[in-house]
Chain A
Amino acid sequence: MTNDILNIVVFSLLGLGVLFAVIRFIKGPKLSDRVVALDTFNMIVIGVIAVLAAVFQNSLYLDIAMVYAILAFLETVVFARYVEGKNDDNR
């Protein structure tokens, strides 16, 4: 019972974090702001997956969190390369 309430608290905190990151992703005046918001969003999603592992008591979610962390890092690097190639002159 108390576990349910605590789970709801944790998930609301994470959900608000995701919401703020998404607002910045939509607003972001420049491309790099959007990339930063996406990076933050990915990290919060890793947290969500880890909490899911604790809620369901299933260690398979940790494998998924590991793979997601790797993909998030690669995504950041690839988008950084994209941002760097996109100068202001040719926009």
Chain B
Amino acid sequence: MTIASYVFLIIGGLFFLLGGLGVLRMPDTFNRIQAGTKATTLGAFSTLIGVGLGNLDWAFKIVLIIVFIVISNPIGSSAIAKATYKSKQIPDNLVQDELANRGDAK
């Protein structure tokens, strides 16, 4: 059980590292949001499962934390993305922008 727990913890740590690296290396804001959100969600998922496997009494609390993170993380990212778009800090490498020609655009 300890071995499985540590396997999940190390996978989680790798994905957290990947998230940090993605936020650092990606060239524009939207891509940074993408890399950060995906990698940290799976990282938190995997780390918390590892912690739960280490001590099965905590399983329910860990399920609740995972549910909260999986719901809240994409919502937070979309809020930042919308705010970035609205504040006109749009990166100039977009090849297509269908949000611009919407009815009430800005």
Contact = CB atoms under 8 A, between A and B. Distances in A.
A54 B83 contact: no
Interface residues of A, number: 53
Interface residues of B, number: 53
A9 B62 CA distance: 22
Chain B interface, >50% SS class: helix
A33 B29 contact: yes
Contacts of A16: 17, 20
Interface of B: 2, 5-6, 9-10, 12-14, 16-21, 23-24, 29, 32-33, 36-37, 40-41, 43-44, 47-48, 50-51, 54-55, 57-58, 61-62, 64-65, 68-69, 72-73, 75-77, 79-80, 82-84, 86-89
A47 B16 contact: yes
